[in-house]
Amino acid sequence: MSRPSARSVIKEIATGFVDLDVPRSEEPDDGPIDWPGYRVAREAAAERSGEDESVLCGTARIGEVEAVVIAFEFGFLGGSIGQRTGDRVEAAFARAVASRLPVVSLIATGGSRMQHGMRALSQLQRIARAAAGARSVPQISVLRDPTTGGGWATLGASADVVLALPEAQVGFAGSRVRPADAPAEAYTAEAKLAWGQVDRIVPPADLPAVLERWLRLLTSPSSEAAEPPGAYGSLELPESGWAAVQAARSADRPRAAEYLDGYFEWREDISGDRCGGVDAGVLCGFGRRDGRTIAYAAQCGTPTLPAGFRTAARLVRLASRLGIPVLTLVDTPGAANDAAAERAGAGAAIAELFEAVASAAVPITTLVIGEGGSGGALAFAAPGSTWVTPDAYFSVTSPEAAAAILKLPADEVPALADRLRLRPQDLVDLGIARSVVGPADHG
């Protein structure tokens, strides 16, 4: 199978690539463990690929953004990671930190170099340490074919944003070492997307533009809080608590996607909790508004799954680290509370988001746009910086659940909604919301 060279991939996405000058570490002819024939294999790989190692590291411009680029050359011993690979990757991250540049890793590797033994495997620790030490700058990985072994388990999976080419082989286990009965489809970029480990599948033709957008978004810190969106729905305040609940539950009420599309000029989503879960009812990502980047985590009106809370926590932590303000939209009847949610760690996931919001180093702005159902909604809300639309409510729990807890008959639910003081104007009076927002600017 013919694969594009590392330099051709770089040329497709960037301009002005300049290799870093990294001293070549001393190495015996047959490698650190004296592997018979290694020198001959290495020389043949160099002649075939035109490179002297399995990775290229340098600086380039992707669109208008300068970045450090790490690109694996699969034609050099399968893109395997050896001592000098570690040297170059470590130097690349050091350059990124010193110059405050984002890092883009274009990965195509079969994993550690067998002919280097444990010296090769130990490079994963070096790479992980270098990446961890560069968390002050954005890190984006692009999973090419294949991305397996330590390349996936370090540079690939640890990046802030993980993009993948269609049908790329992605997995910790390479094709020659996985179980014979393992389904091949489990080791694809598409599977990793479905399982919350990849943010987006990007066709090669779209990759330059997508990378530029992500780099523009992630390299634009701001200390100013996001302003709350205006209301897209009804502007009439409800007269009763039950009327507020009915307005928030209306099928005609605007949802998160409409608010985000109206608020941002353009945006890019992240997807998944990185540990096996995706919640389609939570939208997270970064968007551009009036020349600024604002991160967002928005509930879409469904019960929020543990994966949704974890993805939102991931978003808040990333935005906090990069100095980007956050907008959250609250709209859920509550956290999912079935057996599957409990098995997936609902309580721990909600706690994770509460902690991310509480410890954020950037301002967080919240707008309640629909149902505010109990702790599953509150986890998305910023204390002291929450607004509410006229067609929303926020309650300690739903009126129906409150009736069940208090052992009241179902016909008392509407009256109980009044006693819960959950209307938008009640939330302002209670100090939960700062104010009820006015109409959105549709211009």
Q: Give pLDDT, residue 170.
A: 92
Pairing assessment for the beta strands 139-148 and 161-164 based on DSSP bridges? parallel
Which helix (H) or strand (E) is 146 found in, with range?
strand 139-148
Would strands 170-171 and 393-395 be described as parallel, antiparallel, or unpaired?
A: unpaired
Relative to beta strand 139-148, strand 170-171 is: parallel
Q: Is 425 exposed, middle or buried (0-12, 13-18, 19+ CB in 10 A)?
A: middle
**Are 198 and 272 a contacting pair, CB within 8 Å?**
yes
Specify the pLDDT at position 24.
85
Residue 442's pLDDT is what?
Answer: 61
The total number of residues written for the chain in this structure: 443
pLDDT value at residue 297: 98
Q: Please write down the HEC assignment for all residues of 352-364.
A: HHHHHHHCCCCCE
Element (H, E) at 212: helix 207-218
Confidence at residue 25, expressed as pLDDT on a 0 to 100 scale: 83
For residue 146, the model assigns a pLDDT of 92
Which residue has tokens 């001592």? 83
Mean per-residue pLDDT pooled into runs of 10, the chain (443 residues): 88 96 86 89 93 95 97 93 94 97 96 90 95 97 94 94 96 78 86 96 97 97 95 93 94 95 97 94 97 97 97 98 98 95 96 98 98 95 97 92 90 91 95 95 64
The pLDDT value given to residue 1: 58
Instruction: Give me the pLDDT at residue 175, please.
Output: 74
The CATH architecture one would assign to domain 6-219 is Alpha-Beta Complex (3.90)
Rg (the chain; Cα; Å): 25
User: Which pLDDT score, from 0 to 100, does residue 398 have?
Assistant: 87
Listed in order, the ranges of the chain carrying CATH 3.90.226.10 are 6-219, 241-436
Q: Superfamily for 241-436?
A: 2-enoyl-CoA Hydratase; Chain A, domain 1 (3.90.226.10)
CA–CA distance, 200 with 163 (Å, rounded to integer): 5
Asked, as a colleague might, if the bond just before 146 is cis with ω within 30 of 0, I would say yes
Structure tokens at 90: 């470590």
Joined together, the tokens standing for residue 13 give 């996405």
